[in-house]
Structure 1
Amino acid sequence: MSSIVTFLGKGGTGRTTSAIATAKKLAAAGKKVILMGQDSSPAWGMALGIDPSTEPQSVSANFAAMQLNTTVLLENSWEEVKRLEAQYLRSPILKQVYGQELGILPGMDRALALNTIREYYQSNQYDVIIYDGSGGIDTLRMFGMPEILSWYFRRFRGIFTESDIVKALSPFVQPISSAVLNTAWTTADITENTDNPASQMLEKGTEALSQGKVWGYLVTTPNPIAVATAKYLWGSAQQVGLSVGGVLINQGSITDSISADFAPLNVTELPNFDGSNWQTLMDGLPTIGEEIDTPQPIEFVMAERKIKVFLPGFDKKDVKLTQYGPEITVEAGDQRRNITLPPAWRGNSVTGAKFQKGYLEVTIG
């Protein structure tokens, strides 16, 4: 199965350069690599030394690159939507709407990029997929999208099932679906079935994160603002379950302060890059994309009835904890994460919480 690598950090710290150098290094080691760039400007192709294309284009042996053009991705996805409509409806109506006329709504670029990454991930054409995106909170929300959507599906399916309107209309769902959709859906299929393609897609996306198939690397300079941004993104990555494998320092040296800020992550100082000598930069990179021992975002200590949530880069004042039934919601910065209590703890409430040394420690009564 492929692994996915992305780079996080403030703009101008060398994320794209690090992504390209990583792709070159892995390809030289015999890995089949594809680099996906979200930057639609000519600068991205110039950094690679190619004319950017919306289809995989060979850069060198084992190394392909493609530019994620949102309008093209939208057109392709719209054709698939129309195909499904024609498959399930006797009188499709979307055939009169063309992908080429659709505008881009906020958030579409991330959703379409994630879908493209998913398709290549499941195809197993490449050993490593490197995503060169914005490198900020938008990238993290993109990778966290499967878990968040899965929560929405689970939460509202239960509410939908208990709705008086659904109960009243239940006898009519099957005949209506047969007449309109030419299928035999029932209320149970809508409210209980978790084997549909959408649910399976979300589950696979969540598994990819939890099983360590997706890695993020922090890129920063010694500049205090860049360091603070990287620390914030580290903590935010934990909130979506994205493993952070290490820190890359550009345009400067590692200091004791920087090492302490990012402990226990490995911090690597990269050599100066003049825009042409890729080999020197490649040699300076750490091993990327392989499983390493990093703190887990969440740990259940069953014997002590405690949950330990790793939130580096945040202070106590940045963290908020609430409980709704069998779920605990942790808010840190601009991210929220819902944690479902183990079955043995259901029906119990939070009896204590403390935040120290980057960990939120929650006790369940």
Structure 2
Amino acid sequence: MRILLFTGKGGVGKSTIASGTAALAAEAGHRTLVLSTDAAHSLADAFGAPVGAEPTPVAERLFVQQVDAQLRFEQSWADIQGYLLSVLDVAGVDPVAAEELTVIPGAEEVLALLELRLHALSGEWDVIVVDCAPTAETLRLLALPEALGWYMQRVFPVERRVVKALKPVLSKAAGVPMPEDTVFDAVERLHRELDEVRALLSGPEASVRLVLTPENVVLAEARRSYTTLSLFGYRVDGVVANRVFPAEGADEWRDGWVRAQRAVLAQVDQSFAGLPVWRSVYHGLEPVGVEALTDLAREVYAGSDPVAAPVGEGPFRVTRTSEGAVLNLSLPNVNRDDVDLARNGDELVVTVGSYRRLLSLPASLSRLTVAGARVDEGGLKVRFEGAGRD
């Protein structure tokens, strides 16, 4: 099963490109689902058809879904929300306000990822296309499973034991109810399911496709996204440059735009060297409906397979050497001054800009000593040697 995620700066047309890719995949014979994780759902607008909370057929072998966040929230967060409501009730918070306070930020996107997990496990689909939220929200979302994993391994077990042992004293002293086992179980279940989602999205059949328009600000964000997605182990398999003006010759005003876009597109090719860069020509009318979206995607991919599996080993790999091993982490568009590296026990702490990844080392590496590290050729290389520990 193939999973394709589309993201990009808000307003670049990622929903249109994602929808067109899915429509072309369905035309090629793949049973395809388009799923939106963007709180501002726009798939119904792109297809020009009503879209429900369950997979809705819009063409042969093509289904579209906009997740019912409220229903999924009640299913996945009910125990945790119930406990938080009881705490706020003791504190005297108005019930309506309390219910709003217990909705986690980004809940719709998180629950949409859980919906993706269910569809992937169902075996009903050949291709799942995910129309993600704008870039910043997508990056925070994709970093969540690993960040929650660190909390679950380091803090959660201690917290659970302390609350269980001291529950009668804490309840009396604090005057608020302590969480029951069902609350802890719900958190563990949420973590386990998000961890499965991360395994799916960082696997060999999944990849991210960046959508941009030929503008310097948009390109800068796309470059950062490429770096950050690689940092967290997600594979980027291509870029779609959308709304590209046709060749010069119409009038001086448009010729100026064409020249400006041409300069940015040259930077796009350089920034994403080694990746396919597909171009979507600017059209006067926005494509709406399955037929128009299919035609757009056919023009963009120009005969190439829009859902071909990504090639290569992915952004994270370990190679053996005679002295030990080398950990390779792709970090495109960075230099050594952009990267900070530290070791903390069995983890490597890799910081790039405002993003930090706590990388749990495989057992085969955690026993070795870090002998050196360097940033070159678009990646971080950490050399491990011997049988000791730092």
TM-score, normalised to structure 2, is 0.73
Q: Aligned partners of 2:294 and 2:110: how far apart in 1? A: 34
Query: 204, 207, 210: which one pairs with 2:196?
Result: 204
Q: Tell me if structure 2 keeps the 8 A contact 1:232–1:314.
A: no
Matched, 1:270 2:276: no
CA gap of 1:15–1:294, structure 2 versus 1, over 3 A, is farther
Q: Tell me if structure 1 keeps the 8 A contact 2:205–2:310.
A: no
1:160 positional shift: 6.5
Q: Aligned partners of 1:76 and 1:182: how far apart in 2? A: 17
Match of 1:93 in 2: none
Matched, 1:297 2:297: no
Tell me the secondary structure at the aligned position of residue 250 of structure 1.
Answer: strand
Unpaired segments ≥5 residues, structure 2: 84-94, 167-179, 245-260, 386-390
1:358 positional shift: 1.7
TM-score, normalised to structure 1, is 0.77
Q: Aligned partners of 1:199 and 1:139: how far apart in 2? A: 18
Tell me the secondary structure at the aligned position of residue 248 of structure 1.
Answer: strand
- The percentage of counterpart residues that share the same residue type is 27
Matched, 1:51 2:50: yes
Match of 2:151 in 1: 152
Tell me the secondary structure at the aligned position of residue 131 of structure 1.
Answer: strand
Q: Tell me if structure 2 keeps the 8 A contact 1:217–1:246.
A: yes
Could you report, residue by residue, the CA deviation over 1:18-39 in whole angstroms, capped at 9, with x for unpaired residues?
Answer: 0110111011111111212244
Match of 2:360 in 1: 340
Match of 2:378 in 1: 358
Q: Aligned partners of 2:37 and 2:361: how far apart in 1? A: 37
Provide the aligned length of Structure 1 versus Structure 2: 331
| Letter paired with 1:352 | G
1:1-365 matched pairs, under 5 angstroms:
2-39=1-38, 43-77=42-76, 81=79, 102-103=99-100, 104-156=103-155, 201-252=193-244, 255-273=265-283, 274-276=285-287, 277-283=292-298, 284-285=300-301, 286-294=304-312, 296-303=314-321, 305-365=325-385
Tell me the secondary structure at the aligned position of residue 29 of structure 2.
Answer: coil
1:235 positional shift: 1.0
Q: Tell me if structure 1 keeps the 8 A contact 2:145–2:191.
A: no
| Letter paired with 1:292 | P
1:166 positional shift: 9.1
Tell me the secondary structure at the aligned position of residue 340 of structure 2.
Answer: strand
1:214 positional shift: 2.4
Q: Tell me if structure 2 keeps the 8 A contact 1:272–1:281.
A: no
Could you report, residue by residue, the CA deviation over 1:137-196 in whole angstroms, capped at 9, with x for unpaired residues?
Answer: 3213323433332333223367669x8x69988xxxxxxxxxxx999xxxxxx9xxxxx8
CA gap of 1:203–1:74, structure 2 versus 1, over 3 A, is closer
| Letter paired with 2:209 | Y
1:219 positional shift: 1.0
CA gap of 1:78–1:345, structure 2 versus 1, over 3 A, is closer
Q: Aligned partners of 1:362 and 1:38: how far apart in 2? A: 35
CA gap of 1:156–1:290, structure 2 versus 1, over 3 A, is farther
Tell me the secondary structure at the aligned position of residue 155 of structure 2.
Answer: helix
